[in-house]
Amino acid sequence: METARTPEQSGSSPPPGDAAPPRRSLAPDLARGVMLLVIATAHAHMFAQMSGAPGGGIADAWDRIATGTMALFADLRGYPMFAALFGYGLARIHRRRTEQGQDWPRTRRLLRRRGLWMAAFGAVHAVLLFFGDILAVYGVLALVFTGALRLSDRGLLRAAWAALAVVTASLLAFGLALPAGAKPEIPEGVTAELFFRLSMWPFLLVFMLFATAFPFLVGMWAGRRRLLERPGPYLPLLRRTAAIGVPVAVAGGLPQALVLTGAWTPPSLPVAALVSTLHQVSGFAGGFGYAALIALAAARISARGPGPVTTALAALGRRSLTFYLLQSVAWAALFASYGFGLEVSTAAGVAIGAAVWAVTVALAGLMHRAGMSGPAETALRRLAYGPSGRAD
């Protein structure tokens, strides 16, 4: 299941809701705008699988192609990039406030206040709309790991590798503890779905905290080096990351794609657990690879000036919190039993996700031309920074 958000914006791009700087780097906004397509298709695909359509939404070759493609390129490949951007944004806020002469205790209070409000946003989101919320995860990460900004580079990377080891072991244990292919079933009715979300969310929150710490800490490290704002010195690193990360994600997702499309059945539970773990861990490489690819593209686009499509995508990324939440409104309207209650094939689900994303690109472009900020970003800024909505 893909969750994500949305997670950091700004000049070097802080998370959704950070105070907007005078100038913004194109790469983080463009990355979030493009990755919201991954999030939208992954979520809509998931709802199609859970909708009650015959065969779990897989009825023909198109459904198998859609399911296999999502396993290789989208499922569990978008949220690591958003988590890295979130960590990148926290490092940027720390650096900017340090340059302004703010002391560490004051900066720490600000970052934790933002984290607390993001967690609150996520809790409301989970209760009202979507059990797979990621906002609260990012909020808790900010509360728990703000102190990591004070670590040395070596200490930060050691913490990241330790987090990777923990999540890998946790995924294997989780896979061994559950029956292969087990999936939650969403009940029907407003009250029943509310209790379903309330019961699922705490477990997913803890699970995603483990799964998100590694890319989050790597993003902090990248933020210190301003990889996205000043990619020039790091172009070889970005090229290697893109050339290695995306193929690793595809190769790591291939066994899971074969399982999900019915082309192969793991011979035992340990093998199934290993396949599932490989799928998710390789998704970290995919998230980093996607971010590097987009950073390279943004560097070339910035040199000649963005066109209308790039501008709209960046506008979407700049308002990623607002449109992440709007996607959840769309899923509730389309798939919930108290909405249209759609039961569709997985191929149709992917198409629906892409269509919802396309609408949000158009809306973001209109908001950009009108000079409108995202309402969710505005609310988070004011709650975190006070009535002015700006860092003090």
Give me the pLDDT at residue 1, please: 38
All residue ranges of the chain with pLDDT < 70 are 1-23, 52-57, 179-184, 387-392
Give me the pLDDT at residue 218, please: 96
**Domain definitions of the chain by residue range:** 26-385
**What φ, ψ does residue 255 adopt, rounded to 5°?**
-60, -40
In a 3-state reduction of DSSP, which class is residue 182? coil
- Which of 57, 32, 59 lies closest to 357 in space, CA to CA? 32
For 39-96, write each residue's pLDDT tens digit: 999 999 999 988 766 666 677 899 999 999 999 999 999 889 999 999 999 999 999 9
**Distance between CA 77 and CA 290 in Å, rounded?**
9
How large a percentage of the chain has pLDDT more than 70? 90
> CA Rg, the chain, in Å?
20
- Which of 124, 95, 23 lies closest to 329 in space, CA to CA? 124
pTM of the model: 0.89
The token duo for 121 is 């946003």
**Distance between CA 265 and CA 84 in Å, rounded?**
33
Q: If you ran DSSP here, which 8-state letter would residue 18 be given?
A: P
In a 3-state reduction of DSSP, which class is residue 329? helix
For 154-197, write each residue's pLDDT tens digit: 999 999 999 999 999 999 998 888 765 566 677 788 899 899 89
